[in-house]
């Protein structure tokens, strides 16, 4: 679907009609479920509890809210539209914040913001936000769910990211870590990090597993057996300091770290 939303962005008395366009596409390799005996595709049919396995057609399926056991109120698309206010149908910026204040864990999906009018107002907001280094925070109703969104600007063009509400983000279950690394270990780790540092270039990364999967499909079609990938030889080290030293040595020579920590001693780990 080219456009997933048609509405407007507003701040104060400024109103900008827009469309949202998906910013990413799905490149996953798709597989069908088959009966291994007949090689026939598996189908799923929708039935109801009291239908004696009779298939229910899509046009006969409605949304219902169960307010008591086996008692429902029915909602259709018109009902959902009626309860939306004008504000719900648009993206009204309520606050501008520094992008550094937003933890990436809150981000969900990203969209390109395409103006369908008021191009000068679009350019004004985009330029002002980018120069100020700010992100617009707003709420809107997408489908049947109110969604928190962040409107940001890159190279003069607006992007919108849907976000999770605070009560949707689960707490990190990692407990306080008592183990304390030594100053020497920290210094060496920082040296490794510095040696491995660089600019993020998206084009340097691609889905290697998908390429191997595509190759395996071609081998299967040609009647060949899939050839197993050769595992890179992995050495082992006995403690954390040795692992750091070997890693630093490999990084210094422009090689990827090839050693794994087998077991760290208390002395080396600073415990």
Q: Identify the top-confidence range among 87-91, 142-146, 157-161.
A: 157-161
Q: What is the pLDDT of residue 260?
A: 47
Rg (CA), the chain: 27
Average pLDDT over all residues of the chain = 84
pLDDT of 252: 73
77 pLDDT band (50/70/90 cuts)?
confident
| Percent with pLDDT over 70 in the chain | 87
- Top pLDDT among 260 and 171 is at 171
Distance, CA of 193 to CA of 196 (rounded, Å): 5
- Rounded CA-CA distance 5/19 in Å is 6
The per-type count for the chain, helices as H runs and strands as E runs, is 7, 11
**Residue 71 pLDDT > 60:** yes
**Long-range interactions of 146-152: CB distance < 8 A, separation 24+:** 146/88, 148/106, 149/91, 150/102, 150/107, 151/9, 151/91, 151/93, 151/113, 152/99
User: For the segment 109-131, what is each residue's pLDDT rounded down to a tens digit?
Assistant: 999 999 999 999 999 999 999 99
pLDDT band at 261 (very low <50, low <70, confident <90, very high): very low
Per-residue confidence (pLDDT) for residue 134, from 0 to 100 = 95
Q: Are 261 and 240 in contact (CB under 8 A)?
A: yes
pLDDT at 246 over 60: yes
Is it the case that residue 40 has pLDDT exceeding 70?
yes
Give ∠ CA 34-40-41 in degrees, rounded to 5. Answer: 55
pLDDT of residue 156: 92
Asked if residue 234 has pLDDT above 80, the reply is no
pLDDT digits (tens, 9 = 90+) for 185-223: 888 889 888 888 888 888 888 888 788 888 888 888 888
Indicate if the pLDDT at residue 268 is higher than 70.
no
Q: What is the pTM of this model?
A: 0.72
- Give the pLDDT confidence score for residue 231 in this predicted structure: 66
Indicate whether 233 pLDDT > 80: no
pLDDT at 34 over 80: yes
DSSP for 36-104 reads TTT-PBP----B-TTSTTPBPPGGG--EEEEEETTEEEEE-HHHHHHT--HHHHSEEEEEEEEGGGS-G
Query: Phi/psi at 259 (nearest 5 deg)?
Result: -105, 145
How far is it, in rounded angstroms, from Cα 158 to Cα 165?
Answer: 22
Where in the sequence of the chain do the CATH 2.40.290.10 domains occur?
A: 3-25+82-167
CATH number of 3-25+82-167, picked from 3.40.30.10, 2.40.30.10, 3.30.43.10, 2.40.290.10: 2.40.290.10
Note the pLDDT of residue 188.
86
Q: In this predicted structure, what is the pLDDT of residue 267?
A: 44
Nearest to 238 by CA among 202, 199, 270, 266: 266
């Amino acid at each position: 679907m080219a456009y997933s939303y048609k509405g407007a962005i507003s701040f104060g008395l400024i109103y900008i009609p827009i469309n949202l366009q998906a910013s990413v596409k799905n490149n996953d390799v798709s597989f069908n479920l088959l009966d291994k005996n007949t090689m026939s595709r598996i189908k799923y049919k929708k039935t109801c509890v009291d239908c004696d396995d009779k298939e229910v057609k899509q046009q006969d399926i409605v949304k219902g809210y169960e307010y008591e056991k086996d008692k429902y109120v029915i909602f259709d698309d018109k009902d959902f539209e009626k309860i939306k206010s004008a504000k719900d149908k648009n993206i009204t910026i309520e606050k501008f914040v520094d992008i550094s204040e937003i933890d990436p864990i809150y981000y969900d999906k990203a969209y390109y913001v395409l103006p369908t009018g008021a191009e000068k107002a679009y350019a004004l907001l985009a330029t002002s936000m980018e120069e100020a280094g700010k992100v617009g925070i707003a709420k809107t109703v997408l489908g049947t769910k109110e969604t928190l969104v962040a409107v940001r600007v890159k190279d003069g063009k607006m992007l919108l990211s849907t976000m999770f509400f605070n009560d949707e983000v689960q707490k990190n279950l990692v407990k306080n870590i008592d183990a304390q690394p030594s100053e020497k270990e920290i210094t060496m780790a920082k040296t490794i990090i510095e040696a491995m540092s660089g600019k993020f270039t998206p084009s340097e990364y691609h889905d290697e597993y998908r390429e191997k999967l595509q190759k395996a499909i071609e081998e299967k079609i040609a009647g060949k057996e899939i050839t197993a990938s050769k595992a890179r030889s992995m050495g082992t080290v006995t403690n954390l300091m040795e692992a750091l030293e070997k890693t630093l040595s490999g990084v210094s020579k422009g090689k990827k770290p090839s050693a794994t920590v087998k077991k760290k001693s208390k002395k080396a780990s600073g415990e």
